[in-house]
Chain A
């Protein structure tokens, strides 16, 4: 084949350009660690990585909401612990009030204390976490129990979604705990206070079963709160695990393998070095040099 001068210089120029471009690309991947920075780098990976990135963000949110739910249920649990304390104290007072040796004045004092416990219980039943009443179900903006102790809240509980179709309540039903749907704690305390005021030992004694039931209701509430926390903790752990998987999948799709990136960089650098040394030998030996 006949070789013209332009052929040689074009070949060298083309070789240099191609090697410089390869080196530049390898340098970009090695320095950023990103293999797919734009759709055309790897269209399939770029398309799939949309799903992994989106899952990563959403699992992150599930973990965050689960943590908030756990916190909320912990506050409910603490409140229910106090509720249990109040009701247990009321039961103690009922046991005390059932004692034959107590005078009417003593029972009256006990009635006063029961009245105070009732107030405390009402206050606990209308507890707020943040700006929301926690025992009123979805009706969070108004106290779920009125001054008479009647439940005016909502029995539907707020749930959060921890996975497609999987929902966990982040509230405990105030109606169940304070007895709108079982033994009414406020009515029981009212009955106890009235019996104590009336110095009616038998009537006082008769409230013991109901008080036991209310203590059990508060305990069930705590169990529900505990179970909810447990489910949320599981959901949070699962979401964190899935998030990590999504992160790893995303990395596998879009990030460069450091060894491969470095190896490519070295390879392209060597190729460029070769191309440069060939270019440095231009122009090739020619008859022109023999002229002198």
Chain B
């Protein structure tokens, strides 16, 4: 009798185990498109026959199928791609402001040089003098506009960094809380797969913002480190908060409070979107701004020098053509036509001799000749060459960012495919598993039915 009841029990374990298997296969199939979902497998194990046990099968829960090493590499690749993409996006402004478009810096510099050449041919023509001032105004507008646009972009990046830091802090809190929940949920030995999936997805999202690595704790906790050294979340789920604070020059720095003092941790953010934003802001954009300032300073200084030497038709000299720059920093943004000559074409100093001020073009020739003079880059390049070099450097920086993004994207795709290959759901596989568990369920049902029939036979025997 006991063996027949044992058989019934045996069948019941099969029903339960295969039912659970179907449930897991079904969950896998339904989450085939869920981002961050890691497929589960069912741990079935035989139950030892009497006297050690009742026989049958035991479903020891489900567990996520994953490759920890791959997951770690994927975090790094995600940060790299996010960094390059953010950098590429941030540098796009340079493509716009340094293109050859009408009214841009390049065409305005051409117009200005041409206007001075024309002045050397028609020094007494009021229209030509007006044209020089108009071209100088356009050049000023182009210098100031370009500098403003770059600076505005840098400020936007600062604001974006602050927003990203807010998001990061929210993620860090959630990762810490999930760690604590996982630790509590796994006390019984069952893997809290859904919670772990959510935490892993959050860490992946976090790696899009900052370069993070994780260290797993045996009890389900997970430390999250910034740049491989600074703990942002500890194994027991305590999350630090980052802060974005402006430095002396107003640029946002990434800080974390340590022992009551704010520590600048910007250098640790080498990748991730925040790293990309910082790299663009302090790299190519800062370089472009500095080169532009230098060029503006050199142009204003050289043309002012030549202009001061000449005389307007009023017979006076010593006037600047452009507002004298106070220094290299900010020279482009402050570039403007000097108030001495603005709106006064008669004061454009085309003449070398005040007595011949009306028709003397010799100073205009000197001014026009500056187009060929090595007045920029420490006296090694013409203004056009310096601008060409600025354009080429900016182009290289954007192209570099775009190539980095492409390479990082390809690496991401490859690692993503590898991860999917391990952890992704194949609906066909799940269909087969469903089929298999269904068969197992049917077999277990048959066992129960057989045991039931046998018991009935036994009971009828006594009648």
Contacts and interface: CB of A to CB of B under 8 A. Distances in A.
Interface of A: 1-7, 10-11, 14, 37-44, 46-51, 53-54, 57-58, 60-62, 64-65, 68-69, 130-132, 136-141, 154, 156, 158-161, 164, 167, 170, 286-288, 291
B27 interface: no
15 contacts: A2-B426, A4-B424, A4-B425, A5-B32, A37-B99, A38-B98, A43-B392, A43-B394, A47-B388, A47-B389, A49-B100, A58-B117, A132-B124, A140-B124, A287-B432
Contacts of B359: 132, 136-141, 158
A4 B124 contact: no
A57 B110 contact: yes
Contacts of B32: 4-6
A164 B391 contact: no
B121 interface: yes
A34 to B, nearest CB: 10
B122 interface: yes
Contact of A53 (B100, B122, B358, B368): B100
Given A7-B421, A53-B100, A61-B117, 4 more contacts: A6-B425, A43-B396, A54-B110, A159-B365
A64 B115 CA distance: 12
**Helix, strand, loop or mixed for chain B's interface?**
helix
B114 A61 contact: yes
Contact of B384 (A7, A44, A51, A158): A51
A41 B99 CA distance: 10
Contacts of A46: 98, 391-392, 395
A137 B362 CA distance: 12
A288 B431 contact: yes
B294 to A, nearest CB: 16
9 smallest beta-carbon distances between A and B, as pairs: A4-B424, A43-B395, A47-B392, A140-B359, A39-B395, A50-B388, A40-B398, A65-B121, A141-B358
Nearest to A133: B359
Contacts of B114: 57-58, 60-61
Interface in B177-232: none
Contact of B420 (A4, A48, A58, A140): A4
B124 to A, nearest CB: 6
Given A39-B94, A53-B106, A161 B117 contact: yes
Contacts of A137: 359
Contacts of B106: 50, 53
Interface in B398-426: 398-399, 402, 413, 416-417, 420-426
B10 interface: no
Nearest to B368: A161
B52 interface: no
Nearest to B396: A43
Contacts of A10: 413, 416-417, 420
B431 A40 contact: no
B113 interface: yes
A249 to B, nearest CB: 13
A31 to B, nearest CB: 18
Contact of A51 (B98, B120, B123, B388): B388
B341 interface: no
A202 to B, nearest CB: 44
Contacts of B99: 37-39
Contacts of A286: 427-428, 431
Contact of A50 (B361, B391, B399): B391
Contacts of A62: 117
B387 interface: yes
B110 A53 contact: yes
Contact of A6 (B365, B399, B424): B424
Contacts of A170: 121
Contacts of B369: 161, 164
B353 interface: yes
A108 to B, nearest CB: 42
B356 A154 contact: yes
A139 B358 CA distance: 7
A103 B424 CA distance: 128
Interface in B434-451: none
B43 interface: no
B144 to A, nearest CB: 20
Given A43-B396, A65-B117, A167 B385 contact: no
A140 B355 CA distance: 11
A42 B393 CA distance: 11
B258 interface: no
Nearest to B390: A47
B292 interface: no
A161 B372 CA distance: 12
Contacts of A11: 417
B428 to A, nearest CB: 5
Contacts of B120: 65, 160-161
B280 interface: no
B124 A131 contact: yes
A50 B372 contact: no
B361 A43 contact: no
A38 to B, nearest CB: 4
A5 B427 contact: yes
A43 B391 contact: yes
Given A49-B100, A287-B432, A2 B365 contact: no
Contacts of A43: 391-396, 398-399
